[in-house]
Amino acid sequence: MCGIVAYIGKKEAYPIILKGLKRLEYRGYDSAGIALLNNGEINLYKRQGKVSNLEEFAADKNINGNSGIGHTRWATHGAPNDVNAHPHYSSDGSIALIHNGIIENYDSLRKELINHGYVFKSETDTEVLVHLIDDIRKNEKISIAEAVRHALQNVVGAYAIVVISKDNPNQLVAARKSSPLVVGISNEGDFYLASDATPIVEYTKRVVYLEDEEIAVVDLNEGLKIVNIGNQEITPYVQQLQLELEALEKGGYEHFMLKEIHEQPRSINDCFRGRLNADEAWVSLGGIKEYEQKMINAKRIVMVACGTSWHACLVGEYLLEDLARINVEVEYASEFRYRNPIIGENDIVIAVSQSGETADTLAALELAKSKGATILGICNVVGSSISRITDAGSYTHAGPEIGVASTKAFTAQVTVLTLMALSLAYKKGTISDSKFHSMLAELESIPEKVKLVLEKNDLIEKIANTYKDATNALYLGRGSSFPVALEGALKLKEISYIHAEGYPAAEMKHGPIALIDEEMPVFVIATKGTSYEKVVSNIQEVKARKGKIIAIVTEGDIAVKEMADHAIEIPETDEHLVPILATIPLQLLSYHIAVMRGCNVDQPRNLAKSVTVE
Ligand code: G6P
Q: For the segment 3-35, what is each residue's pLDDT rounded down to a tens digit? A: 999 999 999 999 999 999 999 988 888 999 999
Q: Is the pLDDT of residue 47 over 90?
A: yes
Q: Which residues line ligand 1 (CB under 6 A)?
A: 306-309, 353-355, 358, 361, 404-406, 607, 609, 611
Instruction: Cite the active site residues.
Output: 2, 609
Query: What number is the average pLDDT over the span 295-309?
Result: 95
Distance from C-alpha of 67 to C-alpha of 8, rounded to nearest angstrom: 4
Distance from C-alpha of 583 to C-alpha of 409, rounded to nearest angstrom: 12
Q: What residues contact 60, with CB distance under 8 A and at least 6 apart?
A: none
CA 39 to chain centre: 39
pLDDT at 610: 74
Confidence of residue 553 (pLDDT cuts 50, 70, 90): very high
Q: How far is the CA of 378 from the centre of ligand 1 (A)?
A: 13
Q: How far is the CA of 200 from the centre of ligand 1 (A)?
A: 23
Helices (H), 200-346: 256-262, 264-272, 292-297, 307-324, 333-336
Q: Which of 1, 257, 309 to mutate to test the pocket of ligand 1 (most atoms within 8 A of CB)?
A: 309
**84-136: per-residue pLDDT in tens?**
999 999 999 999 999 999 999 999 999 999 999 999 999 999 999 999 999 99
Beta strands 41-48 and 499-504, pairing class: unpaired
Q: Which of 27, 179, 195, 354 to mutate to test the pocket of ligand 1 (most atoms within 8 A of CB)?
A: 354
**583-to-164, 229, 306, 433, 468 alpha-carbon distances in Å:** 46, 46, 18, 29, 19
Q: Is the pLDDT of residue 607 over 90?
A: no
Instruction: Count the Cβ atoms, other than its own, within 10 Å of residue 115.
Output: 8
Query: What number is the average pLDDT over the span 466-482?
Result: 96
Q: Is the pLDDT of residue 514 over 90?
A: no
pLDDT at 574: 97
Q: Is the pLDDT of residue 465 over 80?
A: yes
Confidence of residue 250 (pLDDT cuts 50, 70, 90): confident
Q: Is the pLDDT of residue 612 over 80?
A: no
Beta strands in 78-190, from DSSP E residues, in sequence order: 88-89, 95-103, 157-165, 171-177, 182-185
Beta strands 392-395 and 548-554, pairing class: unpaired
The tally of CA atoms less than 13 A away on the side-chain side of residue 405 is: 30
Q: What residues contact 440, with CB distance under 8 A and at least 6 apart?
A: 276, 277, 278, 281, 282, 283, 422
Q: Which atom of ligand 1 is nearest to the CA of 413?
A: 16
Please, what is the angle between helix 408-428 and helix 264-272, to 10°?
Answer: 30
What number of helices (H) and strands (E) belong to the chain?
A: 20, 27
One-letter amino acid at 264 equals Q
User: pTM of this prediction?
Assistant: 0.84
In the chain, % of residues over pLDDT 70: 100
Q: How far is the CA of 257 from the centre of ligand 1 (A)?
A: 14
Residue 374's nearest CA partner among 389, 394, 395, 352 is 389
Q: How far is the CA of 364 from the centre of ligand 1 (A)?
A: 15
